[in-house]
């Protein structure tokens, strides 16, 4: 992983491959990867409370294999706070208009149960990158 | 990705894989589509399973004869085959895909490509999505002239507002002999309702940083500054982390990536004045002076920071650069119009269903942005105008909705690209009130150096304010036009030169509203408080006292079961009584609401 060593150009490809495999959780051991969208808009809409609720549920359930990470604004500010959940080998699922209670419901149904909480889902899949 | 777990293999997934490869080759897609065998998906009862990335679409229970149709429809034409898609058992209908949602469907991400998918505080996640590849390419395999040429050919124009060709700016600075040269990233985003730069800095700070290192090599700069306003604490924090990580990894500082190239960056915090976004004012601010613009020429590319050649570009411009170097100028050129290439980020706010940040190809129409991506106007109201380009921009009416979004078209219409703020207004918005708002902003933010701007914006504000209060005169409109044109001709920087735009465009497209305020003393939208009044309709009032209780200023008189009366001299026109009344007995009157003496 990137440390205090000075990188050379050829090192970039190595980091790329290694990190990508960690991030896609295809090859990692994780059960799920949850991204809380924490741009200023998300935080203002309450993303920190969502994060707290998520971390609390994870620690209550004593799960070691859920990767929690943050990212910037997902674009659709009026649906903030938003999260994205990726389960192994499934397309990412975005949830919006969250509250801590909704987060807890999604945790039980989607992260623990593996079923999308369809009534709360915003969309499935990723965006079009040109 | 074809599942090659035991379960799927036993259902024939290898045969599916072979058939896919054959079909892809036959359709000439072998270069673009890669067939990969994966481990077990865990959905063995649904095998054979194929997943198409990056769409993330799952196909299940595939048969050999499905393969040609699948390749033809999805891979060639980009239309996922619904009948083969996986529908989770509990679901009655498939949940929406990102690609089906209007808000996401029409966007093309270049600058925002990493939004929501990487952790901006982890450099390795940026690298995972090809980050710093362009920098490696530029530092090891390109000469400064080649970099400048690549940017010039790409047709990239400044994303901060004026749209000056970036390659040209770099070429001018690269020719300068003086040393040292400087780079500046302009992150002083000041337009009300605009947050493009903030979002880029927060979501992908390394992209800005990488763009600047590439620019440094192109013009021969050894030091750069990133100017971010202090109202953006999260952007500042993430940029600080990004710079530290880049330095620790040898991607900034001395001997970058072992190529012998040296460049370092420093963050400068702005105090949040609107005028600091003007390049010469920003340079003054970095130097430690008051942020006041100076006369140009000399342009910063000749004499900028501390009198040295300086390239100053906007956040979005810098973040576009690595993508062009990595993918090539031809790739970038292919998107957009003849004169405006690539994509532009807009922040979509106001009376619109989907507010947010959108990145769209240049040349898209306003209608597609407002009604397609934005989802139209909420509460079944009508579209009235869209304000583009911040205080220096203008308000465009419904008849301009089919205008393509590019630098020239917007300027011709009286607005401007600006940094990309887009404020949508519905029929409950008063255009005179909007002009008043922007003029108030401008007279507040004018630095005061030029008389035309300092006095001009104040006088224009006073006149428009008077109009909204029913004190307008017929001669006001000519006077406003004259003031706006003097302000444009006699002011030194863009703030003053464009200060008349909010008035000029509203006058051009909504003159009738000004006339209604002045001649009829009437605000058609019912916004200007001095021009409306609330009255109790005696025949409908039941004397229930709800309005009296709702009034925050205690100016409604009346006893139970008697007709109530609003004391007009003390009414603050908040409308609380109208909302509280269950019998529609309170009317908002817009006709000749005040008698002018």
Q: What's the confidence (pLDDT) of residue B91?
A: 47
- Find chain A residues with C-beta within 8 A of B119's C-beta: 35, 69-71
Res. A1 pLDDT band, cuts 50 70 90 = very low
Q: What's the confidence (pLDDT) of residue B46?
A: 58
Of A30, A10, A130, residue with least CA distance to B112? A130
Contact B252, B265 (CB under 8 A): yes
- Find chain A residues with C-beta within 8 A of B93's C-beta: none
Q: What's the confidence (pLDDT) of residue B262?
A: 97
CB contact under 8 A, B128 and A15: yes
CB contact under 8 A, A71 and B249: no
Q: What is the distance between the alpha carbons of residues B25 and B291, in angstroms, rounded to a whole number?
A: 61
Give the SS3 label for residue B586: strand
Q: Is the pLDDT of residue A11 over 60?
A: yes
List the 98-127 stretch of B: residues with Cβ below 8 A of A. Answer: 98-101, 103-105, 107-110, 112-121, 123-125, 127
Q: What's the confidence (pLDDT) of residue B251?
A: 96
Contact A45, A81 (CB under 8 A): yes
Q: What's the confidence (pLDDT) of residue B94?
A: 63
Q: Which of A39, A67, A79, A113 to mutate to test the interface with B (most CBs of B within 10 A)?
A: A39
Which DSSP state fits B165?
B
Q: What is the distance between the alpha carbons of residues A98 and A85, in angstroms, rounded to a whole number?
A: 13
B233 CA: distance to closest CA in chain A (Å): 9
**ipTM attached to this prediction:** 0.86
Q: What's the confidence (pLDDT) of residue B34?
A: 73
Of A28, A42, A34, residue with least CA distance to A79? A42
Higher pLDDT residue, B13 or A3? Answer: B13
A60 CA: distance to closest CA in chain B (Å): 25
Q: What's the confidence (pLDDT) of residue B595?
A: 47
Q: Is the pLDDT of residue A119 over 60?
A: yes
Output the pTM of the full model: 0.83
Listed in sequence order, the residues at least 6 apart from B414 whose beta carbon sits closer than 8 Å to its beta carbon are B394, B396, B501, B504, B505, B508, B509
Contact B107, B60 (CB under 8 A): no
CA atoms within 13 A on the CB side of B420: 30
Q: What's the confidence (pLDDT) of residue B6?
A: 47
CB contact under 8 A, A123 and B98: yes
Task: Please report the DSSP string for B267-319 in residue order.
Answer: EEEE---GGGGSHHHHHHHHHTS-------SSPTTTS-GGGS-EEEEEHHHHH
A27 CA: distance to closest CA in chain B (Å): 9
A29 CA: distance to closest CA in chain B (Å): 13
- Find chain B residues with C-beta within 8 A of A35's C-beta: 116-117, 119
CB contact under 8 A, B116 and A84: yes
Q: What's the confidence (pLDDT) of residue B81?
A: 77
A46 CA: distance to closest CA in chain B (Å): 15
Q: Is B274 on the interface with A (CB under 8 A)?
A: no
CB contact under 8 A, B248 and A4: yes
Q: What's the confidence (pLDDT) of residue B44?
A: 47
Neighbours of B100 (CB within 10 A): 14
- Find chain B residues with C-beta within 8 A of A14's C-beta: none
Which residue does chain A place closest to B361, by CA atoms?
A130
Per-residue burial over B363-386, b = 16 or more CB atoms within 10 Å of its CB, e = otherwise:
bbbbbbbbbbbbbbbeeeeebbbb
- In percent, the amount of chain A with pLDDT more than 70 equals 92
Of A18, A23, A39, the CB nearest to B203: A39
- Find chain A residues with C-beta within 8 A of B363's C-beta: none
Q: Is B203 on the interface with A (CB under 8 A)?
A: yes
The sign one gets for the Cα dihedral B30, B33, B37, B43 is: negative
Which residue does chain A place closest to B53, by CA atoms?
A91
Q: What is the distance between the alpha carbons of residues A30 and A24, in angstroms, rounded to a whole number?
A: 10
List the 81-100 stretch of B: residues with Cβ below 8 A of A. Answer: 88, 90-91, 95-100
Residues of chain B whose pLDDT is less than 70? 1-11, 36-47, 49, 53-56, 58, 86-94, 591-597
- Find chain A residues with C-beta within 8 A of B327's C-beta: none
Chains A and B form CB pairs within 8 A to the count of 194
Of B41, B114, B118, the CB nearest to A89: B41
Region of B479 on the Ramachandran plot (φ > 0 left; ψ -120 to 50 alpha; else beta): alpha
Q: Is B136 on the interface with A (CB under 8 A)?
A: yes
| Residue showing tokens 């969250």 | A98
List the beta strands (DSSP E) in B139-275: 182-187, 223-229, 253-256, 261-270
CB contact under 8 A, B202 and A72: yes
- Find chain B residues with C-beta within 8 A of A74's C-beta: 115-116
Which residues, listed in sequence order, are joined to residue B344 by a DSSP beta bridge? B360
């Amino acid at each position: 992983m990137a440390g205090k060593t000075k990188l050379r150009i050829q090192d970039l490809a190595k980091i790329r491959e290694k990190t990508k495999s960690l991030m896609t959780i295809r090859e990692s051991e994780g059960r799920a990867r949850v991204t809380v969208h924490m741009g200023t808009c998300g935080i203002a809409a309450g993303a920190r409370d969502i994060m707290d609720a998520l971390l609390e549920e994870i620690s209550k359930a004593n799960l070691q294999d859920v990767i929690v990470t943050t990212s910037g604004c997902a674009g659709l500010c009026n649906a903030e706070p938003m999260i994205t959940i990726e389960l192994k080998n499934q397309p990412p699922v975005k949830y919006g208009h969250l509250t801590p209670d909704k987060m807890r419901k999604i945790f039980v149904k989607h992260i623990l149960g593996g079923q999308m909480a369809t009534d709360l889902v915003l969309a499935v899949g990723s965006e079009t990158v040109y | 990705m074809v599942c090659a777990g035991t379960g799927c293999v036993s259902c024939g997934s290898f045969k599916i894989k072979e058939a896919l490869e054959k079909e892809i080759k036959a359709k000439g897609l072998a270069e673009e589509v890669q067939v990969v065998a994966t481990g077990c998906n865990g959905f063995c009862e649904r095998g054979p399973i194929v997943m198409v990335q990056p769409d993330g679409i799952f196909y299940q229970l595939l048969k050999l004869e499905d393969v040609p149709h699948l390749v033809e429809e999805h891979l060639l034409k980009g239309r996922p085959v619904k009948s083969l898609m996986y529908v989770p058992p509990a679901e009655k209908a498939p949940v929406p895909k990102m690609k089906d949602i209007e808000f996401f469907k029409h966007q093309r991400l270049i600058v925002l490509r990493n939004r929501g998918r990487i952790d901006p505080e982890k450099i390795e996640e940026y690298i995972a999505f090809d980050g710093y590849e362009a920098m490696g390419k530029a530092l090891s395999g390109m000469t400064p002239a080649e970099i400048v040429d690549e940017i010039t050919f790409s047709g990239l124009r400044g994303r901060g507002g004026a749209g000056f060709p970036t390659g040209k700016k770099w070429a001018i600075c690269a020719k300068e002999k003086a040393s040292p040269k400087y780079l500046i990233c302009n992150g002083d985003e000041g337009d009300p309702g605009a947050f493009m730069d903030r979002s880029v800095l927060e979501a992908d700070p390394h992209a800005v940083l990488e763009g600047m290192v590439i620019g440094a090599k192109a013009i021969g700069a050894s030091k750069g500054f990133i100017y971010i306003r202090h109202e953006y604490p999260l952007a500042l924090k993430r940029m600080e982390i990004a710079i530290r990580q880049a330095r620790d990894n040898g991607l900034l500082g001395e001997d970058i990536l072992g190529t012998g190239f040296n460049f370092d960056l420093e963050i400068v915090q702005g105090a949040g004045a609107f005028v600091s976004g003007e390049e010469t004012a920003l340079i003054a601010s970095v130097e430690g002076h008051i942020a006041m613009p100076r006369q140009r020429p000399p342009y910063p590319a000749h004499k900028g920071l501390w009198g040295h050649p300086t390239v100053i570009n906007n956040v979005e411009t810098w973040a576009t650069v690595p993508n062009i170097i990595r993918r090539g100028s031809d790739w970038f050129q292919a998107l957009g119009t003849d004169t405006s290439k690539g994509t532009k980020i807009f922040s979509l706010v106001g009376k619109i269903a989907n507010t947010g940040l959108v990145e769209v190809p240049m040349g898209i129409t306003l209608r597609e942005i407002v009604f397609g991506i934005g989802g139209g106007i909420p509460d079944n109201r009508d579209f009235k105008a869209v304000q583009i380009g911040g205080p220096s921009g203008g308000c465009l009416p419904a008849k301009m909705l089919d205008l393509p979004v590019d630098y020239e078209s917007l300027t011709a219409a009286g607005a401007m690209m600006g940094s990309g703020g887009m404020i949508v207004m519905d029929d409950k918005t008063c255009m005179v009130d909007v002009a008043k708002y922007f003029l108030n902003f401008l007279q507040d933010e004018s630095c005061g150096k030029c008389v035309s701007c300092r006095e001009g914006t104040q006088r224009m504000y006073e006149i428009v304010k008077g109009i909204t209060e029913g004190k307008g005169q017929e001669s006001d409109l000519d006077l406003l036009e004259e003031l706006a044109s003097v302000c444009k001709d006699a002011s030194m920087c863009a703030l003053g030169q464009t200060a008349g735009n909010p008035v000029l465009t509203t006058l051009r497209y909504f003159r009738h509203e000004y006339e209604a305020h002045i001649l009829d003393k009437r605000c058609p939208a019912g916004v200007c408080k001095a021009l409306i009044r609330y009255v109790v309709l005696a025949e409908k009032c039941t004397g229930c006292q709800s309005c009296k209780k709702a009034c925050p200023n205690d100016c409604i008189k009346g006893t139970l079961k008697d007709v109530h009366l609003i004391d007009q001299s003390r009414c603050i026109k908040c409308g609380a009584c109208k909302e509280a009344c269950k019998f529609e007995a309170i009317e908002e009157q817009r006709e000749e609401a005040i008698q002018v003496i």
